[in-house]
Amino acid sequence: MSEQPESPRPPTKPRKVPRVLILGGGTVGLYTARRLRRRLGRREAAIVVVDPRPYMTYAPFLPEVAAGSIDPRHAVAPHRFALPGIDSLQGKVSRIEHAARRVEITPDEGDPYWVTYDHLVVGLGAVARTLPIPGLAEVGVGFKNVEEAIALRNHVLGRIDMAASTWDPDLRRRMLTFTFVGGGFAGIEALAELEDMARDAAANYDSVSPDELNFVLVEATPRILPEVSEELGGYTLDQLRKRNIHIHLSTFLNSCVDRHVVLSDGTEYDSETIVWTAGVKANPVLSHSDLPLDQMGRVRCAATLQVVDEDGGVVDGAWAAGDCAAVPDLLNPGSFCPPNAQHALREAKLLGENIARHLRSAEPEAYRHRNVGTVASLGMHQGVAQMFGRFKVRGLLAWVLHRTYHLYAMPTLNRKFRIASGWTATLLFRREVVALGTLHDPRAEFRAAAVPPRSGRSKDGAQGSTDPHIGATHAQESSSED
């Protein structure tokens, strides 16, 4: 990045080349930047993308990453590779002062600094929408990013390994009980893919029977998959029940302190794995901005993807799209575009076009998109799809549609090719079901070997640290494994 961190003051004179600062390098950030660079040369606009991660994650592939059908590295597009001619800054946006045309960036190391701009694109996405449920913050895991997908896969496989190494029936039951909270698309796909993978893995153990695996879904409403018709939602429910997945509809998670699950229908059990997939909310960093937000914390937008104030007046130089933006759905008057990749991707391309038009003194166009359809994978060779709102597809064909659609939408030819090769290898050699649990605490073995020798020996002559602080530190660090 050529730009040096700047001092916290507003720009005094216009730049020769306007700078477009894109917050978030996810679906919106990546596609807006690429489209803008395609339309405008370096002498027409400088483009800067800010994200704490050096890659864009294609989230629809996360369930397949967790199931081991896609290599995690292939489900992400590295910014430096996918964004030629565009500067990338690694850090978190911590404040937005649009009135002064500046954004504060907090890097992982070093002090926060400010970057100024002429046009701002807000593509900060969403975070998990959680509730203050006792125990959830301590033991729950989300399913929003590739790190969580990798950790969850290793965790699930690790619990099967552990159950296979004990005859204690209570411990086995606890290890082999996996709870998912939230029956929307992300939750159902994550549950179905992981269950499929876990049963596949358990078949390789003499001491664990696939029948011992207990997958549980907890959903607050009376149905699952609100994104598709009731009929298709009901079909999915039947399929999951046939796979012995326990489903609690119209039920809330009341507590999960110490991994003891208490549901609102009176059910109680121990579960080593509690995955929270109960919806998303706009990125909370937006509350540290002077941009106009709606009641749900999303940036208010016009259909042209320009930020607007409460009266509908355009906020000059500010644009937004994706999960963090309230974009009016012109084809369903009165409603907003739902938070999904289908909209985020198309909005982003139009956003790039619109900024280019604006810089060339042309009028921006309005976003208008008819839903192509919804596709979901329910494990190997199983899926559901609803195309153009009407055509309902089930089973193998839906699964093929799911893979074809998302492979098409995955950015860069390089990634498409790698994912397709991985799928072919899995078809030929079956999928990998090994748990690399130590990935999450790679220093554990070295730390144990490197503990400084004690000054003396204990009464029984054994050597080892008696410093309670060392023990405490180790316990703390090890607990980060999952």
How many CA atoms lie less than 13 Å away from 295 in the CB half-sphere?
A: 0
As measured in angstroms, the least distance from the Cβ of 409 to ligand FAD is: 8
- Which span (157-165, 264-272, 318-326, 378-386) binds ligand FAD, by CB under 6 A? 318-326
As measured in angstroms, the least distance from the Cβ of 454 to ligand FAD is: 44
Q: Which is nearer to ligand FAD, 341 or 400 (CB)?
A: 341
> Under 8 Å CB-to-CB from 70, ≥6 apart: which residues?
61, 64, 419, 422, 423
Closest CA to 134 of 262, 275, 11, 39: 262
Q: Does 52 bind ligand FAD (CB under 6 A)?
A: yes
* 8 A C-beta contact, residue 50 and residue 115: yes
Q: Which residue is nearest to ligand FAD (CB)?
A: 26
Contacts 24+ apart (CB under 8 A), 437-446: 437/154, 437/155, 437/157, 437/158, 437/161, 437/481, 437/482, 439/150, 439/154, 440/151, 440/154, 440/480, 440/481, 440/482, 441/477, 441/478, 441/480, 441/481, 443/477, 444/477, 444/478
Size of the site for ligand FAD (CB under 6 A): 33
56: amino acid identity, one letter: M
As measured in angstroms, the least distance from the Cβ of 171 to ligand FAD is: 30
Choose, by CB under 6 A, the member of 344, 356, 393, 410 that binds ligand FAD.
344
Burial 369-407 (b: 16+ CB within 10 A, else e): bebebbbbbbbbebbbbbbeeeebbbeeebbebbbebbb
Q: Does 143 bind ligand FAD (CB under 6 A)?
A: yes
* 8 A C-beta contact, residue 218 and residue 184: no
Closest CA to 482 of 264, 342, 272, 324: 272
Q: Which is nearer to ligand FAD, 58 or 133 (CB)?
A: 58
Q: Does 239 bind ligand FAD (CB under 6 A)?
A: no
Q: Does 27 bind ligand FAD (CB under 6 A)?
A: yes
Choose, by CB under 6 A, the member of 21, 40, 48, 50 that binds ligand FAD.
50
- Which span (321-329, 364-372, 425-433, 455-463) binds ligand FAD, by CB under 6 A? 321-329
Q: Does 303 bind ligand FAD (CB under 6 A)?
A: no
- By CB under 6 A, the residues from 423 to 442 that bind ligand FAD are none
Q: Return phi, psi of residue 159, to 5°.
A: -65, -35
Q: Which residues pair with 46 in a beta bridge?
A: 19
Choose, by CB under 6 A, the member of 75, 115, 122, 124 that binds ligand FAD.
124
Choose, by CB under 6 A, the member of 271, 289, 304, 342 that binds ligand FAD.
342
Q: Does 26 bind ligand FAD (CB under 6 A)?
A: yes
Q: Return phi, psi of residue 254, to 5°.
A: -90, -35
Choose, by CB under 6 A, the member of 46, 47, 75, 125 that binds ligand FAD.
125
Q: Does 183 bind ligand FAD (CB under 6 A)?
A: no
Q: Does 382 bind ligand FAD (CB under 6 A)?
A: no
Q: Which is nearer to ligand FAD, 27 or 174 (CB)?
A: 27
Please count the residues of the chain: 482
Question: What is the binding site for ligand FAD (CB under 6 A)?
Answer: 23-28, 50-53, 56, 59-60, 62, 92-93, 123-125, 143-144, 185-186, 283, 285, 322-324, 339-342, 344
